[in-house]
Amino acid sequence: MRTNWVITLALLAVVLGGSIWLSQRTEAVSQHFADAAEEMRTLTQAQEWDAAALQLRAFQQEWKDTLPWLQMQLNHEDADDLTLAMRTLEAGILTRNAPMCALGCAQMEESARHLYHRDAFTWANIL
């Protein structure tokens, strides 16, 4: 009987530890891409289109590399929203359309912040 309790407590510790670690990792990714949206907003408002295009490609590649492990723990729609926001921003940069870029940056920031809030290790999400 005692062995069952030890195993149960060990598994509970592993699950809680893993959940906290994943939550912190998701928070870091969320903050990074929210900051990226702000950086893109600065570049596009200054109409530095070439620099913005290069930086966006780097962020898109980073997002593509992050996505496989992130989609294992998140709702795919949340990840897709950030991908779509980057595509909107890309279209704005290609057409040099500042209002479209502003929209893409706003969507990108909101989608990035939503990643963490949806997955945060809080009582509201647990219950």
Which residue carries 């502003």 as its tokens? 102
Q: Is 30 part of any domain?
A: no
Count of domains for the chain = 1
Q: Which domain holds residue 101?
A: 74-120
For residue 62, give the DSSP letter: H
Q: Is 65 part of any domain?
A: no
Could you tell me the pTM of the whole model?
Answer: 0.81
pLDDT of amino acid 122: 60
pLDDT of amino acid 9: 87
Give percent above pLDDT 90 in the chain: 56
Coil, strand or helix at 73: coil
Q: Is 89 part of any domain?
A: yes
Q: Is 103 part of any domain?
A: yes
Q: What is the pLDDT of residues 9-60, one digit of tens each?
A: 888 888 888 778 887 888 899 999 999 999 999 999 999 999 999 999 999 9
Is the predicted pLDDT of residue 120 greater than 60, yes or no?
no
Is the predicted pLDDT of residue 71 greater than 70, yes or no?
yes
Q: Is 91 part of any domain?
A: yes
The whole-angstrom separation of Cα 87 and Cα 93 is 10
Q: What is the mean pLDDT of the chain?
A: 88
How many degrees, rounded to 5, is the angle at CA 29 between CA 26 and CA 31?
A: 105
The whole-angstrom separation of Cα 40 and Cα 42 is 5
Least confident of 94-98, 100-104, 106-110, 123-127: 123-127
- Residues near 99 by beta carbon (within 8 Å), at least 6 away in sequence: 92
The whole-angstrom separation of Cα 12 and Cα 33 is 32
Q: What is the pLDDT of residues 75-86, one digit of tens each?
A: 778 888 999 999
Q: Is 79 part of any domain?
A: yes
Q: Is 59 part of any domain?
A: no
Q: Is 66 part of any domain?
A: no
